[in-house]
């Protein structure tokens, strides 16, 4: 059954493709293949974007919204694009949350049987602190919200709820494993607080058993107590779970001095190449400037930022005059607010701008596999007719899929197609939101191939619309 | 023109595929999709192959042919497969070269202008040494054999020839860049010696500018002086080339105590699952046990070895009874002699064995992209009919391509299809033949996906032949 459906689906796609070159509304010029080759050749031999990434990660570093480093990243992005000789570089004001981590967190399992064991934890973004002296409580382990509900107030009140549902490693796409686990991180504190818990510990969002905790944003709800929430490394989660089995009454000590400060003025940074024939049809290509405060924000999302700027550089340096307008948008505050993405969409709407496509790179600087599209069937079919131009570069996976967080708010404005750049996903959650998301984990060529892939799709859309 | 050809090629493939399900000679069962899913699920959640790789790389380590570690790897491979409960585990005797590196090499640029600068070099495999005291000579830089010929005896005699042709980074497949440069490493010493050179330095086979030299085998020729040959790191090559421009009379000092020792008895290690319906039709899946003496031989080819054994484990643990016989072959001496590959083919021929397919994994433990086939058009078409079963797992690139070195000698024996497992190639030459080809550079999931990909193709061939 599964096979039959897959076959049918695939054959439909193949038949559509076979028919495509005859479609009158979508001519491709023989020179398109040559232009795309030029784009890849240039991207793979220029060191520009890689050196840009080095600067952003090594000289600026982690850049959480509201931090001085986020401000530095804004000014850096503006300067880099200013030097490119674009038609326009500008910023968009946006107020952003300002959360600070405070001291390095302490997490400690206190067992009557095996004594005290330190484990690596990191406060979740937006979390309140524990107070200077920390808190100590018994722990109840759950794997989902149903289990938690079943425990009820009696068994949860006064305790720390430990959400320990692991990634399902059978998912070939690691994003699917993430989607299947991340509800614990976002919804854990509210659900636990409703039952009287004093804090939450969430198993890190990772495929591997590692010693490094993965932070990420969590949510509170008006009218529900705000309780401290931390990610625990997967190794720590395994240890805690094991000790709990032998000693259900063990206690956990956690200390976090994180806090939410007043909002701060920040900016999206935008660079533009004006279209020669249809300047009012706008194509966005973007990533987010902010990162978590751990590591260097290399794959998340330094690579998306430098790839987006690289698209414009490639057009400039190769002398390609786009028929439609292309904008690189460096969004602020994807990680803990999405204020930049919302602001960009609001202004676009207010100005009556016509966005025809928005491409986001926020899944790491890994080898390209394709593009996922939130678009009409006709738009997807049109993109599929370009497949023969793109598969020589490893872009096989083109079809319906997830666009991206920052471009999401554009949805519904006219006929804009939201397109997520889709790199290989296997290594992403080894680094995501951690201390070890550093420049060294980015392979130069993989990142450059991503930039070239985005530039090639932008080129085709700029030539033929979508 | 390029585009037209690509389109035509692609449409042909699409049309063939569209026709495929109707082909009477290639039914696929609905359960095949479920079996392949089981294979991937098991491979991605078992730690067996990853822990095997850890043992091979960390507890045995580098294992050049003739070394005690190579002998350890043979015994380890035998024991691992013995524990699997296969139908048969056996070894094949094979005499192998025994080359040893000796002391860590010294490479030093001696410039009258900037003084002495040490650079990282590594003797090429099979190279003779320089003698205990080393050698010092002027350097001539060339980029290909034509340049060398033009220089002639007069300008080459008594000098060190420095082959400095870099990888062409515009190749999307790094294997193509390697193919375009590796003639310098293999053929450099003979060509230079014919013109009276005293030694050869070859730019390392790498995409990046790195400080680590990449070794690899070189060749001598009867009747031509055997002169010492070393790889220089790409960083060292850039430095040497730059200094040569300012100071063409600079000298280079090199010291290498490598030597060729008498041949040693070694072994291929083979594990077999007997086919239930056509036991005389044999499918080989293999990698090579030996590695260079630098690093840990993780991607080259520890991953190929554990993936090949993992194919058998998956069949055993999932209770899949193959209709045709499957053999995992752990070849000895791929790196500097190919004696194991030749021996296996010789014995197969002598015994009149009927090999229908041989799959080799020797391109690193990276995310799978597909399979390259040295096979008849009909065999390739048959494999293409399985594409709908394989593309959900990222295996898009199935078609004519390179089989592999170790399976190469089987060519022409009956109708055997030689199939190269094709992982993503971007990072391979960051590690290839170096100190830094270590366990840590292997991503567990990428390696496991490779094993599952190989097992899935082996499964389909075992069911339907080729």
Among candidate residues A334, A353, A360, A374, the one labeled active-site is A334
Between CA B198 and CA B159 the distance in angstroms is 6
d(C-alpha B353, C-alpha A273), whole Å: 65
Q: Checking DSSP bridges between strand B324-331 and strand B278-288, what pairing results, if any?
A: parallel
What letter does residue B166 receive in the DSSP assignment? P
Looking at the fold, whether A226 and A287 belong to one and the same domain comes out as no
**Strand B417-423 relative to strand A251-255, pairing:** unpaired
Residues B123 and B144 in one domain: yes
Q: Confirm whether A456 is domain-assigned.
A: yes
Mean pLDDT of A76-96: 98
User: Is there a single domain that holds both residue B425 and residue B294?
Assistant: yes
What is the rounded distance in angstroms from the CA atom of residue A400 to the CA atom of residue A377? 8
R_g over Cα of chain B: 23
Shared domain for B314 and B413, answered yes or no, is: yes
Provide the residue count of chain B.
Answer: 466
Cβ separation of A33 and B6 shorter than 8 Å? yes
Closest CA to A293 of A426, A199, A418, A434: A434
| Record: contact A445-B28, CB cut-off 8 A | no
Give the DSSP letter of residue A260. Answer: E
CA B10, B14, B15, B16 torsion-angle sign: positive
Q: Which helix (H) or strand (E) holds A418?
A: strand A417-423
Q: Dihedral sign, CA of A376, A379, A384, A390?
A: negative
Q: Are strands A354-360 and A417-423 parallel, antiparallel or unpaired?
A: parallel
State which of A257, A278, A307 marks the end of a domain. Answer: A257
Angle at B41 between CA B419 and CA B18, to 5 degrees: 50
Supply A177's token pair. Answer: 């494993």
Residues B1-44 pLDDT 10s: 333 333 333 333 333 333 333 333 456 777 999 999 999 999 99
- Which of B3, B392, B431 is the best substitution to test chain A (most A C-beta atoms within 10 A)? B3
B282 and B253, same domain (yes or no)? no
- Mean pLDDT score, B321-342: 98
pLDDT per residue over B99-120, tens digit each?
Answer: 999 999 999 999 998 999 999 9
Q: Which of A237, A231, A249, A232 is nearest to A110 (CA)?
A: A249
DSSP labels, B241-300: HHHHHH-TT-EEEEE---EEEEEEEEEEEEEEE--SSEEEEEEEEEEES---SSTT-III
Q: What are phi and psi of A317, to 5 degrees?
A: -70, -30
Residue B228 contacts residue B127 (beta carbons within 8 Å):
yes
**Cα distance between residue B59 and residue B269, in whole Å:** 19
Are the beta carbons of B230 and B119 closer than 8 angstroms?
no
Chain B residue with minimal CA distance to A171?
A: B41
Residue B241 lies in a domain: yes
**Distance between B299 CA and the closest CA of chain A, angstroms:** 16
pLDDT confidence of residue B30: 77
Q: Hey, how many other C-beta atoms are within 10 angstroms of the C-beta on B359?
A: 28
- Catalytic annotation, pick one of B105, B296, B334, B335: B334
Map tokens 């982690």 to a residue.
Answer: A62
**Do residue A30 and residue B2 have CB atoms under 8 angstroms apart?**
yes
Give the pLDDT score at A12. 38
Beta carbons of B32 and A424 less than 8 Å apart = no
Judging contacts by C-beta atoms under 8 Å, the chain B residues touching residue A396 are: 391, 396-397
Q: Give pLDDT, residue B344.
A: 98
Tens of pLDDT, residue by residue over A324-374, are 999 999 999 999 999 999 999 999 999 999 999 999 999 999 999 999 999
Q: What would the two tokens of residue B347 be? A: 């014995």
What is the SS3 assignment for A394? Answer: coil
- Report pLDDT digits (tens) over B211-258: 999 999 999 999 999 999 999 999 999 999 999 999 999 999 999 999
**Tens of pLDDT along A159-188?**
999 999 999 999 999 999 999 999 999 999
pLDDT bucket at A28, cuts 50 / 70 / 90: confident
Q: Choose the weakest-confidence range: A22-26, A126-130, A298-302.
A: A22-26
Q: How far apart are CA A41 and CA B205, in angstroms?
A: 19
Q: B168 vs chain A: nearest CA distance in angstroms?
A: 9
> What total of structural domains would you count in chain A?
2
Contact B30/A1, CB-based, under 8 Å? yes
DSSP A328-384: EEEES-TTTT-HHHHHHHHHHHHTT-EEEEEEE--S-SPPEEEEEEES-HHHHHHHH
Contact criterion met (CB < 8 Å) for A41 and B170: yes
Give the span between the Cα atoms of B343 and B331, in whole angstroms: 9
Mutate to test the interface with B, among A29, A369, A394 (most CBs of B within 10 A): A394
Longest dimension (CA), chain B: 76
Q: Which of A205, A229, A257 is the last residue of a domain?
A: A257
Active site residue B353: no
H or E, element range at A14: helix A2-19
Q: Which of B424, B427, B452 to mutate: most A Cβ within 10 Å?
A: B424
- Calpha distance B449→B307 (Å, rounded): 9
Residues in chain A closer than 8 A to B30 (CB atoms): 1-4
**Is A248 exposed, middle or buried (CB count within 10 Å of its CB: 0-12, 13-18, 19+)?**
exposed
User: Which among A2, A18, A169 has CB closest to B45?
Assistant: A169
Phi, psi dihedral angles at A28 (to 5 degrees): -120, 140
Structural domain contains residue A389:
yes
The Cα of A366 is separated from the nearest Cα of chain B by a number of Å equal to 10
In order of A128, A301, A337, A342, the CA distances from A97 in angstroms are: 14, 18, 7, 14
β-strand A324-331 against A278-288: which pairing, if any?
Answer: parallel
Average pLDDT over residues B436-461: 98
User: Across the strands, what pairs with A295?
Assistant: none
**Confidence check: pLDDT of A24 > 70:** no
Q: Are residues B444 and B312 in the same domain?
A: yes
pLDDT in tens, A428-459: 999 999 999 999 999 999 999 999 999 999 99
| Residue in chain A lying closest to B385 (CA) | A7
A28 contacts B11? CB cut-off 8 A: no
Least CA distance to B47: which residue of chain A?
A208
Confidence of residue A27 (pLDDT cuts 50, 70, 90): low
CB-closest option in A10, A396, A424 to B367: A424
Residues B242 and B326 both lie in one domain: no
Residue B45 pLDDT: 98
Q: Which of A2, A18, A387 sits opposite B33 (nearest CB)?
A: A2
Selecting from A7, A45, A170 the residue whose C-beta is nearest the C-beta of B21 gives A7
Asked if A443's CB is within 8 angstroms of B449's CB, the reply is: no
A331 is a domain residue: yes
Taking alpha carbons only, the member of B78, B203, B170, B79 closest to residue A40 is B170
Per the structure block, which two tokens stand in for A10? 């695939």
Sign of the C-alpha dihedral computed for residues A221, A225, A226 and A232 taken in this order: negative
Position of tokens 């030029």?
A38
**For residue A12, is it within any domain?**
no
Contacts of A303 in chain B (CB under 8 A): none
* Residue-range definition of the domain harbouring residue A457: 19-99+262-464
State residue B27's pLDDT score.
60
Q: How much is the pLDDT for A30?
A: 77
Average pLDDT over residues B173-193: 98
Substitution target from A2, A34, A364 for chain B, most B beta carbons within 10 A: A2
Could you give the CA distance from residue B162 to residue B202 in angstroms, rounded to a whole number?
Answer: 6
SS3 A160: strand
B436 lies in the same domain as B310: yes
- How high is the pLDDT of residue B170? 98
Nearest-Cα distance to chain B for A152, in Å, is 33
Chain A residues closer than 8 Å to B19 by CB: none
The per-residue DSSP string of B324-340 comes to EEEEEEEES-TTTT-HH
What is the longest distance spanned by two Cα atoms in chain A?
76
- Inter-chain contact B3–A389, Cβ cutoff 8 Å? yes
Other Cβ atoms closer than 10 A to B327: 24
Would you say residue A337 lies in a domain?
A: yes
**Arithmetic mean of pLDDT, A389-401:** 98
SS3 B421: strand
Of all residues in chain A, the percent with pLDDT exceeding 90 is: 93
Using CA atoms, how far residue B88 sits from B70, B261, B453, in Å, is: 22, 34, 24
CA distance B181 to B255: 25
> Across residues B44-66, what is the average pLDDT?
98
Q: What is the mean pLDDT of residues A198-227?
A: 98
Whether residues A290 and A377 fall in one domain:
yes
A99: Cβ–Cβ under 8 A, 6 or more apart, which residues?
Answer: A64, A65, A66, A125, A126, A258, A259, A260, A261, A336
Q: What is the CATH number of the domain that holds B205?
A: 3.50.30.30
The per-residue DSSP string of B80-133 comes to HHHTTT-SEEEEEEEEEEEEE--SPPEEEEEETTTEEEEE-EEEPBT-----TT
* Cα distances (angstroms) measured from residue A231 to each of A140, A141, A162, A256: 15, 14, 10, 12
CA–chain centroid gap for B175, Å, is 10
Tokens of A417: 């197609």
pLDDT for A19 equals 36
Question: Residues A166, A277: one domain?
Answer: no
Does a structural domain hold residue A364? yes
Least CB–CB distance from B169: residue in A3, A33, A45 = A45
Distance, in Å, from the CA atom of A339 to the CA atom of A290, rounded to the nearest integer, reads 11
Across chain B, what does the average pLDDT equal? 94
Residues of B in contact with A6 (CB under 8 A): 33, 388-389, 392
Q: Are the Cβ atoms of A3 and B33 closer than 8 angstroms?
A: yes
3-class state of residue A59 by DSSP: helix
Task: Give domain status of residue B121, yes or no.
Answer: yes
* Inter-chain touch A394–B4, beta carbons under 8 Å: no
Q: Which residue of A has its CA nearest to B449?
A: A172
Kindly list the residues from chain B whose CB atom is less than 8 angstroms away from the CB atom of residue A41: 170
Cβ A14–B17 below 8 Å, yes or no? yes
CB contact under 8 A, B369 and A394: yes
Note whether A391 and A380 are same-domain residues.
yes
B chain contacts of residue A21, beta-carbon cutoff 8 Å: 7, 11
Same domain, B63 and B108: no
pLDDT bucket at A381, cuts 50 / 70 / 90: very high
- The residue from B257, B280, B303 where one domain ends is B257
The residue among B371 and B5 whose pLDDT is bigger is B371
Which CATH number fits the domain that encloses residue A331? 3.40.630.10
Report yes or no for ipTM above 0.90.
yes
CA pair distance A201, A227, nearest whole angstrom? 11
Between chains, do B6 and A40 touch, taking CB under 8 Å as contact?
no
d(CA A3, CA B20): 14
């Amino acid at each position: 059954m599964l096979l039959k459906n897959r076959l049918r689906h695939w054959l439909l796609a193949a038949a559509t493709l076979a028919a495509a070159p005859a479609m009158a509304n979508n001519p491709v010029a023989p020179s398109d293949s040559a232009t795309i080759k030029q784009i890849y050749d240039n991207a793979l031999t220029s060191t520009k974007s890689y050196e840009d990434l080095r600067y952003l990660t090594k000289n600026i570093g982690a850049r959480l919204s509201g931090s001085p480093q986020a401000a530095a990243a804004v000014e850096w992005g503006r300067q880099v694009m200013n030097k490119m000789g674009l038609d326009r570089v500008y910023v968009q004001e946006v107020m952003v949350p300002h959360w600070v981590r405070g001291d390095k967190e302490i997490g400690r399992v206190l067992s009557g049987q095996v004594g005290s064991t330190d484990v690596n934890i990191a406060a979740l973004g937006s979390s309140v602190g524990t107070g200077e002296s920390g808190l100590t409580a018994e722990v109840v382990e759950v794997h989902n919200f149903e289990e938690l509900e079943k425990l009820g107030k009696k068994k949860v009140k006064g305790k720390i709820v430990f959400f320990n549902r692991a990634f399902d490693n059978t998912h070939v796409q690691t994003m699917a494993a993430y989607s299947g686990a991340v509800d614990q991180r976002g919804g854990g504190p509210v659900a636990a607080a409703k039952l009287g818990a004093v804090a939450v510990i969430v198993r890190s969002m990772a495929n591997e058993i590692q010693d490094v905790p993965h932070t990420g944003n969590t949510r509170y709800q008006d009218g529900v107590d705000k309780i401290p929430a931390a990610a625990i490394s997967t190794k720590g989660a395994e240890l805690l779970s094991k000790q709990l089995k032998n000693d259900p009454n063990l206690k956990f000590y956690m200390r976090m001095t994180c806090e939410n400060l007043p909002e701060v003025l920040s900016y999206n940074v935008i660079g533009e190449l004006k279209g020669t024939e249809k300047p009012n049809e706008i194509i966005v290509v973007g990533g987010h400037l902010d990162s978590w405060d751990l590591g260097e924000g290399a794959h998340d999302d330094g690579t998306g930022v430098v790839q987006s700027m690289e698209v414009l550089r490639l057009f400039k340096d190769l002398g390609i005059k786009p028929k439609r307008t292309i904008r690189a948008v460096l969004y602020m505050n994807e990680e803990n607010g999405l204020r930049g993405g919302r602001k960009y969409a609001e202004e676009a709407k207010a100005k009556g701008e016509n966005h025809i496509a928005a491409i986001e790179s926020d899944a790491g600087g890994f080898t390209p596999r394709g593009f996922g599209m939130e678009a009409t069937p006709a738009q997807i079919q049109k993109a599929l007719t370009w497949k023969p131009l793109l598969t020589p570069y490893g872009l096989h996976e083109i079809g319906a899929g997830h666009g991206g967080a920052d471009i999401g708010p554009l949805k519904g404005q006219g006929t804009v197609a939201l397109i997520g750049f889709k790199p290989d996903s296997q290594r992403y959650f080894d680094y995501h939101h951690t201390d070890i998301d550093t420049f060294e984990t980015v392979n130069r060529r993989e990142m450059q191939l991503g930039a070239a892939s985005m530039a090639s799709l932008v080129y085709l859309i700029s030539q033929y619309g979508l």
